[in-house]
Amino acid sequence: IAKEMEKLLEMETQLGDEGKSKFVLKTPKGTRDYNPKQMAIRERVFNAIITCFKRHGAEVIDTPVFELKETLTGKYGEDSKLIYDLKDQGGELLSLRYDLTVPFARYLAMNKIINIKRYHIAKVYRRDNPAMTRGRYREFYQCDFDIAGQFDPMIPDAECLKIVHEILSELQLGDFLIKVNDRRILDGMFAVCGVPESKFRTICSSVDKLDKMPWEDVRSEMVGEKGLSPEAADHIGEYVQLHGGLDLIEQLLQDPKLSQNKLAKEGLGDMKLLFEYLTLFGITGKISFDLSLARGLDYYTGVIFEAVLVQQENNQVEEPVSVGSVAGGGRYDGLVGMFDPKGRKVPCVGVSIGIERIFSIMEQKLEASAEKIRTTETQVLVASAQKKLLEERLKLISELWDAGIKAEMLYKKNPKLLNQLQYCEDTGIPLVAIVGEQELKDGVVKLRVVATREEVDVRRESLAEEIKTRTSQT
């Protein structure tokens, strides 16, 4: 027994030590750091998106990363369980924002703004099961563009789709398709199929699963779990396989049942108008009116849309295979009213760019390509060929900085020229300004082009200009 005890005590000691030294060096689950290379890619993607948002005249706002818990309560339906709450440390109860749309609506109501076109790029937080290889994280960026205000129908809605089209074309991620539908058409369809009104939202969220599940499974969820009649489900099944363009809209406007439903008729009328505007924008080639598109969130009230990348299969007869959503949005005319003390509504339509998935794709593409990504913009390295020239390097680099030149030097007293040149090779710095005894006497600096090894003496007073000229193509 004594031996056994000894063993146990030893094990305990070991475990104790392990516990102590086992400080885990990691980022929280579902989050990541961005290293300089990833940041360089991220900046490229952000720039393309921000340029587009600004081209459409958007202002920019920012809101805090957390909101009062009650601000988020009752806005996300079932997904509310994914909200991160802060610990009650005395004071207000706070939660991390779940998206940028609800804070935007809170901002509008709080500041009594009835008219704004703004973008907002910021991180949002969801305690989801992360699938990080597919670009899904618990902390991730959203890039939102929204138009708030009472306007003539479908003009802002059409602009949102134009923006998605511009961004996805610009980023060259491959072929894409923007699916469009309208919550009013869905609700009208549910009504004529015999779905009781109390089940509209839950049946809608079943339809939303059609991009991940076959119809048979969705049907059995409707009938089995949600208690819909088999006839109603089959009727829905006929509608949700429909997709097309103006012709389909016209066809449904003639549909004996749908055309009798007020909501559906309104939705179809607006859809027709939307397609007319999209024709003027010249982008209907990538738009598909798709009755199976439902979107998860509760707050949509009109047009909804989602952009997916499509992989063209070799077999041309096959339908294009969707590889995931990269943008989505829609109209939400009731959300601001939920915050206004008097319930005053501000109609809104907006689009959210799925930046993390886009970023993952870009990263993979660049990884596969030969392109070397620079993580700095340094134009010139200030170097020396001999020893004891640290002071001269410091003086020269200071002159260049003051002239607006992006310049670096090695933080060594007497660096070897080879090491300095190697640093340029490694980091992509195109030019080297070399100070030496002779050059100092002559009032010149030797400027070396890293790629060609060409060297030329430049008068010190015109060095900054020369560097600007030689690096102006970038």
> Which residues sit in the known binding site for L-histidine?
99-101, 126, 142, 146, 295, 299-300
* Options 20-28, 202-210, 241-249, 301-309: segment touching a copy of itself (CB under 8 A): 20-28
Exactly one of 18, 19, 20, 152 binds a copy of itself (CB under 8 A); that residue is 152
User: Which residue has tokens 């909501």?
Assistant: 263
Phi, psi of 180 (to 5 degrees): -130, 140
Amino acid 276 reads: E
What is the longest distance spanned by two Cα atoms in the chain? 95
Q: Least CB distance from residue 160 to a copy of itself, whole Å?
A: 12
Q: Residue 426, interface with a copy of itself (CB under 8 A)?
A: no
Q: Residue 146, interface with a copy of itself (CB under 8 A)?
A: no
Q: Name which of 184, 165, 187, 160 is nearest 176 in CA terms.
A: 165
Exactly one of 9, 39, 131, 451 binds a copy of itself (CB under 8 A); that residue is 39
Exactly one of 61, 242, 253, 373 binds a copy of itself (CB under 8 A); that residue is 61
Region 89-108 residues binding a copy of itself, contact defined as CB under 8 A: 89, 91-92, 94, 96, 106-107
Cα(398)–Cα(443) distance, rounded to whole angstroms? 16
Total residues binding a copy of itself (CB under 8 A): 90
Cα(333)–Cα(301) distance, rounded to whole angstroms? 6
Q: Select 264 or 405, whichever has its Cβ closest to a copy of itself.
A: 405
Exactly one of 6, 12, 17, 62 binds a copy of itself (CB under 8 A); that residue is 62
For strand 380-384 and strand 407-408, is the pairing parallel, antiparallel, or unpaired?
A: parallel
Cα(264)–Cα(189) distance, rounded to whole angstroms? 7
With beta carbons less than 8 A apart as the criterion, state whether 377 and 471 touch. Answer: no
Exactly one of 29, 387, 388, 459 binds a copy of itself (CB under 8 A); that residue is 29
Alpha-carbon dihedral 165, 169, 171, 173, rounded to 10 degrees: 100
Token pair for 361? 């794709």
Q: Residue 16, interface with a copy of itself (CB under 8 A)?
A: no
Q: Residue 453, interface with a copy of itself (CB under 8 A)?
A: no
Q: Residue 215, interface with a copy of itself (CB under 8 A)?
A: no
Region 227-286 residues binding a copy of itself, contact defined as CB under 8 A: 276-277, 280-282
With beta carbons less than 8 A apart as the criterion, state whether 168 and 177 touch. Answer: no
DSSP annotation string for 173-214: -S-EEEEEEEHHHHHHHHHHTT--GGGHHHHHHHHGGGGTS-
With beta carbons less than 8 A apart as the criterion, state whether 431 and 450 touch. Answer: yes
CA 206 to chain centre: 25
Q: Least CB distance from residue 97 to a copy of itself, whole Å?
A: 11
Q: Residue 147, interface with a copy of itself (CB under 8 A)?
A: yes
Q: Residue 332, interface with a copy of itself (CB under 8 A)?
A: no
Q: Select 162 or 184, whichever has its Cβ closest to a copy of itself.
A: 162
Region 154-173 residues binding a copy of itself, contact defined as CB under 8 A: 155-156, 158, 162, 166
